[in-house]
Structure formats: C-alpha cells, structure tokens
Amino acid sequence: MGLLSSFRSFDAYTKPLEDFRIKTASGGLVTVLAAIVIIGLSVSETLSYLQLQVVEQLFVDSTTSDERVPINFDIRFHRLPCALVTIDVMDVSSDNQVDIEHDIFKVRLDKEGKTIVEAPLKLVVNQNTTTVSTGEATTPKCGSCYGALPDGSCCNTCDEVKEAYQLKGWQVNLESVEQCKNDEWLKLLRDHKEEGCRVYGRVNVSKVAGNFHIAPGDPFRTLRAHVHDLHSLDAGSFDCAHSIDHLSFGTHWPDKDYPLDGSTHDEHKGGVMYQYYVKVVPTSYHSIDGQSTHSHQFSVTTHRKVVGGGVSGLPGLFVQYEFSPLMVMYEERQAPLSAFLVNLCAIIGGVFTVASLIDSFIYSGHRVLAQKMNLNKLG
C-alpha cells in the first residue's frame, strides 16, 4: 500500500468528489453522440488498416529491348470475309519483324455475327506473297479497253485491261469489266458476301516501336515499302468495321480494365482506315506475399480516314504502338500496427476533447441564460 500511495503525487488526472459533480441532459446527449462518433471512426480506421495499401512508384525502364512482349487480341470484323484477311507485324523502320512467335486464328462469321465454321483456321503472320489472278470469263476476238487505249486497240484479258488502265493512271472497276468477271478476288467477294471474320490470338513482338495491322489484300514488299495488292479492286469494296472484344499488351492482369475492350467502330461504309496510336507503359505489380506480375498498361488515341479517290492508305485495322522509357511499379503494403494504434488514440482523444468543449459551451450558455431570467424576475 505504501508503494501505491507514493504514486498519488504523480496523478495528473485529479478526481473531484461525487458531490461536486453536476450531470446535465445536454452533457449526456453530447457523451452519447461522442461515443457513436468514436465507434464509427474506430471501425472505419480498423477496416482501413486491414486493407492493403497499393503504393505507386515510377522508374526508368532498364529492361532489354530484346525482350518479347505478347500482344493479345480478339477482334470481330462485321463485313470483311476471312478469305481476304491478312495480318502483318512491322517495326518502326517499316521492316517486317522476323522470327515472330504467334498463335493466331480466324473464324468465319455470318452477317448476324454467328460462327459459320466451328474449326478455326490458323493465320500466318507476314506472308509477303501475292496470288496471281486466274480464270478469264471469255476471250473475245477484240475486247474493249474501256477508253484506256486508242480506238481499235484490243484488251482480250483482264490483265490487259489492268495494264491499259495503269498506263492512264486510272483505277479500274473489275466488276464492270467483262474480261474480269471470273477474277479470283471478285469470286471471293461474291462467294463470301455479307460474311464477317473473327481474328484472335497472340503475337510476340520486340520491345521497340512498331505496328501490327489486319487488312485485306495480298501483302508483299517492294524496295523498302510494304504494300497490299488489292487486285485492282476499289478500296470501298472492303468494309473493315469491327468490334474489339479484347486488346492487351503483356501478361494478363486480373481485374484490369483495358481501354479498347468492348468497343465497336463502324462507319457503315467501305474503304475506311482505322488507326490506333498506342502508348505502352511497362508495369510491375508486387503483392504482399512476394509474388510479382510484369505486364503493360497502355493509353490509346484513335483516328480514322476514308481512303481511295486520291487519298492514300489501306482499308483495315492498324495498331501503332510505342513503348514508354518509364516503368510503373505497384507494391502492396500493410500499414504498421503502431500507426494504427496512434490513429485510434487520436480519434478517441480528439473526439472527447471536442465533445468536452461543446458540453462546456452548452453548460455555460445555459447558466448565463438562467441567471438573466432570474434577474428579470427579480426586477
């Protein structure tokens, strides 16, 4: 008892006698409200403490450019037949990327978007070949050159009509040329009229700026240029309207929203070049259990233009991507227990302090009013 008594001199919380304590209804109300506020804030602080904090940091990307980045996509073309679809991957210098690992398939769709053939057909990247038109409808004795050559000149085959128009610098409409009615590409357009195509899969590209595009025509290289042979068909014959069900760079990130997923792009006419300029940011996510996920985020700007009629370009879908030199790192962290306890103490002490001030103000105001009322009665 003597030891305990010696601590009385250190007591900073002196207690008045019970007889000198005054309890009021307003004080009880303020106390109840303060207790409710303390409980609410304490529960909120506890839930916040139990949740993991995700800290974002920015670094210079020091990974090698030899690293391969997978591009995952699932795209549906509404009115472009699979028989006409090709895919190419190129780097910033417009050279085809070589030794590309890919796993890409295409599936025929009807005009309602339903699958015609269940078995998908594998699509080869960077074919760089062109087909030769075969099959002539008729070979008249002296076929018309349709004004491309002087009167009396004969164009007996489809190729001769094309050459005559090329000399003039004109665009030939194969559908109106008798010699070209059995042209292979015209037959493909007729046989697969109102068909669509679903193109999906994955392609691994080098970590340098470049583009991949899905477009009609036979691709091939001439000098330093990459071109598509549309076999003299007008660009307006190819309607590349599409829906992007999924497009991502890198490893799949759970619960990650990608900006182009679920978007539809349809100008309701052919000959449109759909371009997507993508800025890719390397990203890593480090969970609290030590696991790391390396992937990529991206932002996108869209642009479209109608080609043909003197406007250069190629109908199709073009994704031009560029990798950022900076890397974003997300790290899961657990708040320290000491910070949680400090915050709880701050909540309890702060609320009680404010409540005591409010109670003192109410009590003092009530006493002043009561004294004035008593003086008025006496007067």
Tens digit of pLDDT for each residue in 168-216? Answer: 777 777 767 777 777 777 788 778 888 899 999 999 888 888 888 999 9
* Residue in 143, 132, 242 with CA at minimum distance from that of residue 183: 132
Q: What pLDDT, on a 0 to 100 scale, did the predictor assign at position 201?
A: 92
Q: How far is CA 154 from CA 143, 181, 233, 323, in A?
A: 5, 17, 22, 55
Q: Cβ contacts of residue 214 below 8 Å, gap of 6+? A: 75, 77, 85, 86, 87, 199, 316, 317
Mean pLDDT of 281-309: 87
Between 99 and 262, where is the model more confident? Answer: 262
Spatial contact of 351 and 306, defined as CB atoms under 8 Å apart: no
224: left (phi over 0), alpha (psi -120 to 50) or beta: alpha
Beta pairing, strands 102-109 & 121-122: antiparallel
- Kindly report the backbone phi and psi dihedral angles of residue 349, in degrees, each rounded to the nearest multiple of 5, phi listed first: -65, -40
Percent of the chain with pLDDT over 70: 85
* Distance, CA of 116 to CA of 374 (rounded, Å): 96
334, 288 Cβ separation under 8 angstroms:
yes
Using alpha carbons, select from 47, 49, 34, 50 the residue that is nearest to residue 347: 34
Say if residue 329's pLDDT is above 80. yes
The region of weakest confidence among 122-131, 287-296, 321-330, 353-362 is: 122-131
Alpha helices in the chain (DSSP H): 2-6, 25-50, 158-168, 184-191, 337-378
Maximum mean pLDDT: which of 89-103, 209-223, 322-336: 322-336
Question: Is residue 321 within 8 Å of residue 249, measured between CB atoms?
Answer: yes
Question: 177 with 156: CB under 8 angstroms?
Answer: no
Query: What's the confidence (pLDDT) of residue 164?
Result: 78
Q: Does residue 42 have a pLDDT over 50?
A: yes
Q: Which residues of 330-356 are buried (b: 16+ CB within 10 A; e: fewer)?
A: ebeeeeeeeebeebbeebeeebeeebe
Burial (0-12, 13-18, 19+ Cβ within 10 Å), 84: buried
3-class SS of residue 118: coil
| CA-CA-CA-CA dihedral for 47, 51, 53, 54, to nearest 10 | -140
The model's pTM is: 0.71
Question: Please, what is the average pLDDT of the chain?
Answer: 82
Distance CA 175, CA 189 (A): 11
At 236-263, the pLDDT tens digits run 888 999 999 999 998 877 678 899 999 9
The amino acid at residue 198 is R
pLDDT at 147: 73
CB–CB of 53/333 below 8 Å? yes
Query: What integer pLDDT is reported at residue 13 of this predicted model?
Result: 58
